């Protein structure tokens, strides 16, 4: 735990940091989790970080979180050798408190993927089974923490990107309420969905860092002052939280062994005196099509800036009569198939002939989902269910079928669509592979939700 690390004497922490760096290098040869080490940055900052509150806490960050003066590529060819001109707000807060960035980690290209297989640096392996995926797009973070490479890692969650990897690798991840953390300095995928979060092995570690990085940022107008948000205060430490379980979670899409483990956990909670009721979330099955309609539109817009001129690689313009021909050629060559698939999907739903039928309708369904979730939280403190409909699958087994990958997001995209906090915690195993359970709380109930989950054990 973080508290154990920072309580060590200064020289002991310095030696431990060296051990972590050495250990992470050895582990990475098997996992392929870290694509870029920041040894020079570490050497330049380690002495000053040791004297700050976090005491030089070693962390790894996803390759789409900017660190000034270092290479950030989002694991895409189009951003090859791109040097970040500034540091993201959330990372700067951690650095100011004494965190030490030891490396950048592998990810699906521009965070688009559900298995960490679309990176230009090849797939990441699951530490529990090297032939299995760790989930995506932040599977590298999960693999790094789960394997003991580092105690803490930062990732981004757009619809599933961290809770699903956490579930597949037996660690903890909490997605905050939209607006609790700044997105400034994060290479954007879907601006109304993206949120940074923390991979850890304990809720206490997440709580420690959450208080350091939450809050308003004048550079990100979507952020809020967490101290001024209004949350439902129906729970206190003398009461057990009321838990809702949508019956729609337990459909044919859910692996029967995972369903059994979740039902067993529900019974354990009931036996311990918790009120756990079955409820209905009728629009659950509309979450996937709604999410992928809207995320495609936002991806198409955000990716327009990568044209072979303004960022990253620049090609030879000789032989092109029009700049549009050059841009088309560069994007076709330097962007991966999943990124191009989502750009094309987004361009389609935003086109004048389909805007009303797809994009506007998806926004309407998003609002209806928000209303259904808000109605549940009028009566309950938490929504419980599985994190992923299946355990980790074989590397390459779904590469040619993106729809099968998208369906893995069935339970997680709802939290991003409605903006509420959610956490994945490990609850069991199927054939030696981890199973995660997701808990969602009402928007702005972040701190209360962590206390409730910790209370539940």
Annotated active-site positions, please?
A: 62, 137, 161
Dihedral, CA of residue 199, residue 77, residue 292 and residue 229, to nearest 10: 40
Closest by alpha carbon to 440, among 454, 457, 456, 453? Answer: 453
The 3-state secondary structure of the chain reads: CHHHHHCCCHHHHHHHHHHHHHHHHHHHHHHCCEEEECHHHHHHHHHHHHCCCCCCCEEEEECCECCCCCECCCCCHHHCCCECCCCCHHHHHHHHCCCEEEEEECCCHHHCCCCCCCCCCCCCCECCECCECCCCCCHHHHHHHHCCCCCEEEEEECCCCCHHHHHHHCCEEEECCCCCCCCCCECCCCCCCCEEEEEECCHHHHHHHHHHHCCCECCECCCCCCCCCCCCCCCCCCCCCCEEEEHHHCCCCCCHHHHHHHHHHHHHHHHCCCCEEEECCHHHHHHHHHHHHHHHHHHHHHHHHCCCCCCCCCCCCCCCCCHHHHHHHHHHHHCCHHHHHHHHHHHHHHCCCCHHHHHHHHHHHHHHHHHHHHHHHCCCCEEEEECCCCCCCECCCCCCCHHHHHHHHCCCHHHHHHCCCEEEEEEEEECCEEEEEEEEECCCCHHHHHHHHHHHC
* Conformation bin of residue 172: beta by default, left when phi > 0, alpha when psi is -120 to 50: beta
How far from chain centre, in Å, is Cα 198? Answer: 8
């Amino acid at each position: 735990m973080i508290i154990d690390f920072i309580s060590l004497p200064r020289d002991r922490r310095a030696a431990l940091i060296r051990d972590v760096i050495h250990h992470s290098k050895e582990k990475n040869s098997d996992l392929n989790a870290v694509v870029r080490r920041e040894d020079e940055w570490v050497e330049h900052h380690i002495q000053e970080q040791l004297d700050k509150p976090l005491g030089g806490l070693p962390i790894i960050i996803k390759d789409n979180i900017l660190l000034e003066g270092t290479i950030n590529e989002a694991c895409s060819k189009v951003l090859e050798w791109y040097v970040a001109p500034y540091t993201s707000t959330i990372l700067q807060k951690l650095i100011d408190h004494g965190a030490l960035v030891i490396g950048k980690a592998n990810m699906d290209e521009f965070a688009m993927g559900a298995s960490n297989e679309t990176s230009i640096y090849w797939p990441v392996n699951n530490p529990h089974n090297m032939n299995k995926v760790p989930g995506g797009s932040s599977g590298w973070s999960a693999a790094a923490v789960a394997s003991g490479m580092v105690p803490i890692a930062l990732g981004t969650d757009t619809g599933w990107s961290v809770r699903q990897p956490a579930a597949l690798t037996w660690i903890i991840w909490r997605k905050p309420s939209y607006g609790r953390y700044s997105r400034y300095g994060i290479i954007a995928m879907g601006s109304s969905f993206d949120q940074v979060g923390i991979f850890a092995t304990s809720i206490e570690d997440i709580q420690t860092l959450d208080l350091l990085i939450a809050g308003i940022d004048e550079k990100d107008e979507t952020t809020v002052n967490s101290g001024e948000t209004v949350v439902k205060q129906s729970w206190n430490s003398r009461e057990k939280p009321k838990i809702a379980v949508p019956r729609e979670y337990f459909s044919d899409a859910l692996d029967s062994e995972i369903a059994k483990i979740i039902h067993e956990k529900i019974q354990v909670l009931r036996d311990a005196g918790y009120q756990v009721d079955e409820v209905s979330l009728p629009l659950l099955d509309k979450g996937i099509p709604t999410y992928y309609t809207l995320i495609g539109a936002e991806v198409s817009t955000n990716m327009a800036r990568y044209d072979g001129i303004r960022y990253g690689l620049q090609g030879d313009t000789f032989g092109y009569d029009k700049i549009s021909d050059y841009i088309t050629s560069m994007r076709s060559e330097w962007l991966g198939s999943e990124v191009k698939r989502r750009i094309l999907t987004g361009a389609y739903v935003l086109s004048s002939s389909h805007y009303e039928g797809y994009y506007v309708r998806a926004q309407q369904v998003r609002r209806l989902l928000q209303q259904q979730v808000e109605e549940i939280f009028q009566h309950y403190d938490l929504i419980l269910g599985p994190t992923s409909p299946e355990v980790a699958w074989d590397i390459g087994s779904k590469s040619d079928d993106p729809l099968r990958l998208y369906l893995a997001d069935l339970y997680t995209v709802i939290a991003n669509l409605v903006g509420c906090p959610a956490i994945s915690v490990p609850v069991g195993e199927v054939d030696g592979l981890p199973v995660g359970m997701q808990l969602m709380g009402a928007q702005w109930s972040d701190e209360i939700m962590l206390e409730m989950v910790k209370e539940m054990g």
